[in-house]
Structure 1
């Protein structure tokens, strides 16, 4: 019986008879294969958002994500800062369009190990519902998907496992290790100190596209690049002619072309204000079609949702949701169906909460108990000898 040595390629017809050695690829920090099909993925800096992205447990390289937000809040900006901070810690190259260095000085700092452990304990205590033993795991978002889609962390050369997604603290600030790791590209439509009439045919996005293409054109570099575009088409940052379809859609086409040309080096996250560009407009729908994933953040008014406990009832106080999350499209579905729908452990009614230590947490949305209905809040269980007690409901 003939045996063949491992890691030796089979010579093709017409090729030299010498064996071709297959070299193992070095692991890149912050990159791990998808548990579904092995595609390289990176973290968005938010654990719950990673679990939401079509079951890949992260953002697939070579894809883009469009985050739409209505109102005057900036939850999308918080997601962008988590995304940038995660890239800084992993050693990735960050490209920010339309912002200056002050935006980079507001990145959240790394949370301490003690606060991370206490936050996990608080999350477990908050998620455990005190209704009945069979509903204890009801509040855990994506339990089945998380158990199935957990991929092992990539190991470094020293043998220690690297962290795929870090925990951040909004009260701290991240210190940038190098000014060259984070690039800020301004919106330039005319040279400084030039008071001539603004050329409406000049696209403000050409400089940024050329900037990214120059960085990606280096064939010897394996650096992962993260592109961040905050509040695209905002009148406070962009000239009026930037919202013309022939200009902004050409920019999305160019970004999509770079993502397909460099599918193992580039990811893009963009935020769009829906108050100025609603989804009913054709321009917004075209931007959604040219993006791989589309999420919509709908914040609640500050006093719309409040959790109140009935008198005499002691329950674990949960943070009220701050808005709804609508998933319009997820990037890269697998041929087996990906990770959407009920099969992954979550439905269509999703809510999000932004806190200092836990970051942005996505959970299924549920209405609080009706105020004054103490019987329903206490369980309303009756037995033959009166009100049910703890001994009666224990099995």
Structure 2
């Protein structure tokens, strides 16, 4: 009676099957599944902005984000630089429209501040057992995605969102990806130029489509458009509404054709193009996410009450509210919905502050506590009574 080993294909030997390599799902650097619906997401370089995007804990691949800003500040430009620096560190391909190569020198460098666990956390045996459920209160509302095990049993330690320092510049040794620039205006020259020049939007879309078609499926591409329709970068036919809307239509089509490779971040000066105009409204409709930054004036900035120690005063000065953030639209699974309940919480009043080490921090806005001003009121009444005759 003959016996045959199970799970062996007829016509092949067990030794040949053992020698055959197994196909493993290798994780892509800088990409992890969403804790809400497991769709691939990538980090914007700002942790607080990742926590704001409809519970995905990052920017979902295949979506775009439009950030409008009032005034003459450049908080939206800081978000773009963090987004570009995160992509270069992760090994992604960054495409910049409307800027020259000098913009690369403005990217923030990696932070070297090492957090020692001995100072921030107490030993496990000294923690109060009754307060175990309150340890995560006040922390960002994110859910950690378990790391995948490698072939040798070790976890793939790839950081999803890095920490950057605005006072430093990104070192060439930290750059693992590629960056390409597509200026929206040609440099001034004394020679006469032809009037039939190609639109920068169409040239950019054609180059992006060719690179997406010729790149590997595991290559992630990031599109950055700083200061859309700004007079310093767009002039002539490129500033016409039909050119802008056709560009956004084509970019949206590429995002849908490559839902696992492409993301886009666009900024818009709302002082020149307010949300009440039809062009801005159509730009918001063609974008998956819409945020609005409203910087506060210097005399109306709310800062925490002063403290005695220098370290506390430095941290409080970095956490002062510098503006308000309004969430109009968040990237969801599809046009029919798919965002989590955290999307409704993000519609509440949000504030932001910019610091050197923590970058741009977005958090819910809350009014300062009402202090006891009774002594000051009484002294003011006494001074007023003494002045009356």
Bucket of the pairwise TM-score, normalised by the shorter protein: 0.7 to 0.9
User: Residue 152 in 1 paired to residue 146 in 2?
Assistant: yes
- Please say which of residues 265-274 and 187-196 is displaced more in the overlay: 187-196
Question: Hey, what does 1:187 align to over in structure 2?
Answer: 184
CA distance in 1, matches of 2:166, 2:198: 39
Deviation at residue 37 of structure 1 after TM alignment? 1.3
Question: Hey, what does 1:173 align to over in structure 2?
Answer: 169
Q: Is the 8 A contact 2:54 2:342 kept in 1?
A: no
Question: Hey, what does 2:110 align to over in structure 1?
Answer: 110
CA distance in 1, matches of 2:36, 2:139: 19
Whichever of the two has the greater Rg, that structure is: 2
Q: Deviations over 1:25-61 (max 9, x none)?
A: 2211111111111111100001111111110111111
Q: Is the 8 A contact 2:95 2:222 kept in 1?
A: yes
Deviation at residue 307 of structure 1 after TM alignment? 2.8
User: Residue 209 in 1 paired to residue 205 in 2?
Assistant: yes
Deviation at residue 98 of structure 1 after TM alignment? 1.4
Deviation at residue 155 of structure 1 after TM alignment? 5.8
> Relative to structure 1, is the Cα distance of residues 220 and 168 closer, same or farther in structure 2, using a 3 angstrom cutoff?
closer
CA distance in 2, matches of 1:374, 1:342: 42
CA distance in 1, matches of 2:369, 2:184: 49
Q: Is the 8 A contact 2:77 2:267 kept in 1?
A: yes
Question: Hey, what does 2:271 align to over in structure 1?
Answer: 275
Q: How does 1:1-395 map to 2 (within 5 A)?
A: 23-114=23-114, 116=115, 140=138, 143=141, 146=142, 149-153=143-147, 159-177=155-173, 181-188=178-185, 194-196=191-193, 198-199=195-196, 202-218=198-214, 220-307=216-303, 309=305, 318=316, 319-333=319-333, 338-341=339-342, 348-370=348-370, 372-373=372-373
Question: Hey, what does 2:385 align to over in structure 1?
Answer: none
For 2:300, what is the secondary structure of its paired residue? coil
Q: Is the 8 A contact 2:332 2:338 kept in 1?
A: no
CA distance in 2, matches of 1:347, 1:373: 33
Q: Deviations over 1:188-246 (max 9, x none)?
A: 569965425645x9532111111111110116452111111100100001114323221
For 2:204, what is the secondary structure of its paired residue? helix
Deviation at residue 340 of structure 1 after TM alignment? 4.7
CA distance in 2, matches of 1:58, 1:223: 18
Q: Is the 8 A contact 1:155 1:161 kept in 2?
A: no
RMSD: 3.6
> Relative to structure 1, is the Cα distance of residues 285 and 347 closer, same or farther in structure 2, using a 3 angstrom cutoff?
closer
Deviation at residue 303 of structure 1 after TM alignment? 1.7
Which has the larger helix fraction?
Answer: 2
* Length-normalised TM-score, structure 1: 0.75
> Relative to structure 1, is the Cα distance of residues 361 and 340 closer, same or farther in structure 2, using a 3 angstrom cutoff?
farther
Deviation at residue 315 of structure 1 after TM alignment? 12
> Relative to structure 1, is the Cα distance of residues 321 and 254 closer, same or farther in structure 2, using a 3 angstrom cutoff?
same
Question: Hey, what does 1:125 align to over in structure 2?
Answer: none
Question: Hey, what does 2:386 align to over in structure 1?
Answer: none
Number of aligned positions between the proteins: 339
* Length-normalised TM-score, structure 2: 0.77
> Relative to structure 1, is the Cα distance of residues 296 and 137 closer, same or farther in structure 2, using a 3 angstrom cutoff?
farther
CA distance in 1, matches of 2:278, 2:270: 13
Q: Deviations over 1:51-106 (max 9, x none)?
A: 11110111111110101101000001000010011111110011111111211111
CA distance in 2, matches of 1:341, 1:227: 26
For 2:327, what is the secondary structure of its paired residue? strand
Q: Is the 8 A contact 1:310 1:371 kept in 2?
A: no
